[in-house]
Structure formats: structure tokens, C-alpha cells
Homo-oligomer: A and B are copies of this chain.
């Protein structure tokens, strides 16, 4: 006939219930669940027992309402054409979990405009939003900075104060890839980009183009895919079947590079003897025995770390050590270019010179 037992049945158990059962005030309950608060061990223990009995769980939503922050971070994602994307969001999710942040996953609609997804996220009071897909307009971006939500763009750039853009150092990587192929004796270097007119893609194209120009050459052939294996396959098929096929293909991502390799095989073209292939991302797939793709990339965990740092840096209360960090906001880098490293495998031949 214990009245406390009755509550066990249905209704949502709140801090009031716990307070009642423990014979303390709601504040006491609150404090008992707040790490560094003034509560006697006696009460804290009583409360925790009552809480366990009742199956009490603090309501994170109500807690956020007060002002402690939602601990939510939005990840704005598109269709994960490349497996690399999923690796990345996984890495970021784990990293953020370690830091006590929760991830809100928001897909970008087919229109490929992320603005609405962003607002959606903002209405959930996310402390930061990381955009992996779609384009974001000035307005939406400014809105984020206005309400103090950290906005981080990955692989895309918008010039809005306080917005952080993280991108591969595409130009450098493309140039290095081009030079490498050049020195290996290739002269007919083709490029597989994407139809989405992505920022990163343009940079890669430009980088390759530039270094070829220096050598008095041009991009030998140019096709566009969608980052998927099959589109790389089709693109390569077209190039390799032409009257004047390339002797090297630089692909804007690994997925399409793998497709290109398969296309070459289908055509009986030998890799790397007749055709060299280089990708970007250094996806684990590239290491498979069937492909052994040479690729430029950066481990997903490293990227995740950069992103997480960027979120925390602005989310965390300003650490007033008072030295270098003063006004960190202002001189915080607007654009971070991640240097890529080359993983040499077997789709490129050793340099001749």
C-alpha cells in the first residue's frame, strides 16, 4: 500500500517525484545530479536511491531550456555517395560523444540547399552545426552567427564572419598529384570531377590544370560523375574508349577512382602500365587487394578531431588564461585547409626519373 510504489506504473517520473520520495526539495534533487554542487553526501545518496527506485532520468530538454546549453550539434548530411562520408560522420559522432555532445542528424533535401535543414537544426537549439552537404546561403549563415551557433562548413566555403570552413588543401593535393604523374612520364592526364559543381571539385580541377599548364599541357579529358563508383566507371569508359585515351586519371574521389579501375579492366587496359589512377580521400576501400589505389587523403579521425576542436573552441566558456587566447574570436582562422598526404599503392608506377 506504499503510495510511492504506485508511481512505478506509468506516468513520466519527474524531479518532483524523486524529491517527494527522498523527502527533500526539488532543488536538492537538481543539485544531486549536478557534478559540482553544494549537497551533503547524505542527501545526494538518498536522492540517488530514490531516483534509481523510480527510474528517474533528468530531462535534458528541460535542462537545456534553462540555459546550460543543449549539448546538441547538428550534422547536415546528404546522400552518402562516398563511403568516406559515412566514415567521417561516424568519426565525428564518436568524437563529439566523448566531449559530451549529442548529434542531431539532419538530411539535406534533394534541392541540395542546406538552409532549411540548418533552420530546422537551429530550432533545436544546437550549439553548432556542421555542414557536410548542400550549399548554405549568406542569410542562413549569418543567422547562425547572430544567435551564437557555431557554423562549420566542411568541403565548402561561405564568406561569413565567424563561420569556419574546413576543406582539404585541394589545390596543393591536385598539384602534387599532377606533378607526380608528370614526373612518372604521363602526358595525357585526365580528370574525373563531379556534376555538382562543388567547391572542392573546382579547386582540384584548377590545381591540376595549373600544374599541367606549367608543363605546357592541358587536362587531357574531363568527365563528371556523382562520386559514386558507377559514375567513375562510366566516365572512364568514355575516356578510355576515345580515339586518344588518357594514360593517367586523377579522380576527385576514391569511389570514382575505383570505378575507373574497373572500367580499365573491362577494356583490357593494364594498371599501372597503360594507365595510372589516383584518387582522393584515401578511403579504406582503396587498400583492398583488388584495387590498391594510390590516393591523397587524411584519416577520418584526424578530420573529426579538427572539427570537434572547432566546435569546442567556441562552445566552451572562454578560458581566461589571458595570454594568447584573448579575443580568440577575431583572429580565429576563417578557413582551415587540411593538408593531404599521399598513400602510394599500386595504381601508379614508380617514377621514371
Contact = CB atoms under 8 A, between A and B. Distances in A.
Interface residues of A, number: 58
A231 to B, nearest CB: 12
Contacts of A13: 147
Nearest to A288: B229
Contacts of A79: 90
Contacts of A272: none
Give the number of times this chain occurs in the complex, counting copies: 2
Interface in A259-312: 259, 261-263, 265-266, 284-285, 287-291
A86 B79 CA distance: 10
A79 B102 CA distance: 16
Nearest to A228: B284
Interface stretch (A103-111, A193-201, A202-210, A337-345): A103-111
Interface in A100-151: 102-107, 119-120, 122-125, 143, 146-147
A4 interface: no
A207 to B, nearest CB: 28
From DSSP, what is the main secondary structure of chain A's interface residues?
A: helix
A288 B258 contact: yes
A104 B107 contact: no
B263 A125 contact: no
A34 interface: no
A59 B125 contact: yes
Contact of A61 (B64, B87, B103, B107): B64
Contacts of A12: 147
Interface in A77-103: 77, 79-80, 83, 85-87, 89-90, 93-94, 97, 102-103
A10 interface: yes
Contacts of A285: 229
Contact of A107 (B93, B233, B265, B288): B93
Interface in A36-68: 55, 57-62, 64-65
B80 A123 contact: no
18 contacts: A55-B143, A57-B122, A58-B123, A59-B65, A60-B124, A65-B65, A80-B86, A80-B90, A86-B86, A89-B105, A93-B105, A102-B104, A102-B105, A233-B288, A233-B289, A262-B290, A265-B290, A290-B290
Given A86-B89, A258-B288, A265-B290, 11 more contacts: A55-B146, A61-B61, A62-B65, A97-B106, A102-B105, A103-B104, A103-B106, A230-B288, A262-B289, A266-B289, A290-B291
